[in-house]
Structure 1
Amino acid sequence: MNTRTTSLRSQARRRRTVSVLIGLALAVIIAFVVQQSLSAAFADAERTGPLPSSTPRPSGQSEGSVIAPSEADGVIRDGDQPTVFDVDRAAVGNLDASLLAALQRAASDAEADGVTFRVNSGWRTPALQERMLQDAIAHYGSEAEARRWVATPETSEHVTGDAVDLGPLPALDWLVQRGWRYGLCQIYANESWHYELRPEAVDQGCPEMLPDPTADPRTKR
């Protein structure tokens, strides 16, 4: 093999590597833009009209307002994202206690690195979850596509307080590298912001990500 052939192959490999890296970067940017767009739409949910239906919450927890979901339902308005320590906010304070404790431990360590966790969405009432699903259907044009991003009230881990959507990008980057140490794992490949607690990850690492919520057995129960 002559020097010219070797050089051409090296250049081809470099071009493929650059193309892959650019593709990954674009995928992350697109996913983040989609999440921010949906967050902004959902934050205005209380002003966009009635929901078609709602699903009761477990005994002892508020069902929320079908007509106008509010902050009490877990609404977080765009530009007013709380930290994981703002437990007076329903979206944060009603998270599962173990998940919240892990988030606060991680956030304390991240602060030492100059990184702040912001909650874009946390606990939600069924009313808010249903509103978000209907907004997603309108946004994407079909329920099948919407379900790749938003679960039903019956199957959402947000409704049970077992999931949280975090930002901004520096926080997500920090969690990608260190989240497993706290049992915090990204669950869906298409949702870089969606984290749940997997205590076994501390010893075993986070499980392989599912492509999107439609591949999650929990959304089919």
Structure 2
Amino acid sequence: MTRSEAATTTATALGEADGAIPPGTTVFSNVPAVANLDPRFRVALQEAAKDAVADGVEFRVNSGWRSPAYQNHLRRKAIAKYGSEEEAARWVATADKSAHVRGQAIDLGPAAAQAWLSRHGARYGLCQIYRNEPWHYELRPEAIEHGCPPMYADPSEDPRLN
């Protein structure tokens, strides 16, 4: 099997069970990418989503929990796209360091949901972590009382990933 055939086989073998998101997924969906999130994180997301609906905003999940295989696939794609490990690290963590693999990160859309969480997320302990990723949120319970911590420019600056 050629390298290209192996990549295609891996990509097609990765599905919902690995964290791929079916269309229309919300923080209330019962799919592995949502169900495998840390329970406290999922509850905070669902509480925020319920309140956002009152403002006409719906949270859509673009990515949540991911299997290590899926994370490795995304990392390989990022290296191919950006041309180096160093540039890929600005966008995709390795599987052993990824908050997505641990069920502690979510990527949300659309832009209205991102804007809503940017304004109100700390109330639920939900914080944007990276300035270059307005869609990426993690649970920071201390934010409820103290506000969200300063953001890293991108994942390559996050000491948890180094």
* Bucket of the pairwise TM-score, normalised by the shorter protein: over 0.9
CA distance in 2, matches of 1:174, 1:118: 12
Alignment correspondent of 1:213: 155
CA distance in 2, matches of 1:156, 1:129: 8
CA distance in 1, matches of 2:32, 2:24: 12
Alignment correspondent of 1:146: 88
Q: Which has the larger radius of gyration?
A: 1
Task: Give the 3 Å change call, closer, same or farther, for CA 139–81 of structure 1 in structure 2.
Answer: farther
The answer to whether the 8 A contact 1:185-1:195 is kept is yes
Alignment correspondent of 2:111: 169
CA distance in 2, matches of 1:75, 1:104: 20
Task: Provide structure 1 residue ranges, at least 5 long, that are not aligned to the other structure.
Answer: 1-46, 52-65
- Percentage of pairs with the same residue: 58
Q: What is the aligned-residue RMSD (CA, Å)? A: 1.6
Of residues 5, 15, 39, the one that matches 1:70 is 15
Q: Which has the higher contact order (CA 8 A, sep 6+)?
A: 2
- Secondary structure, in 3 states, of the residue corresponding to 2:127? strand
CA drift of 1:84 comes to 0.3
- Secondary structure, in 3 states, of the residue corresponding to 2:8? coil
Q: Does 1:93 align with 2:35?
A: yes
Residues 108-147 of structure 1, C-alpha deviations (whole Å, 9 max, x = no match)? 0001111000000000000000000001111111111111
Q: Does 1:113 align with 2:113?
A: no
CA distance in 2, matches of 1:219, 1:49: 28
- Secondary structure, in 3 states, of the residue corresponding to 1:115? coil
CA distance in 1, matches of 2:19, 2:151: 26
Alignment correspondent of 1:16: none
Of residues 25, 47, 68, the one that matches 1:126 is 68
The answer to whether the 8 A contact 1:50-1:67 is kept is yes
Amino acid at match of 1:125: S
Alignment correspondent of 2:3: none
Under a length normalisation based on structure 2, what TM-score does the superposition of the two structures give?
A: 0.93
Aligned 1:22-61 pairs, distance under 5 A = 49-50=8-9
Amino acid at match of 2:51: D
CA distance in 1, matches of 2:14, 2:108: 21
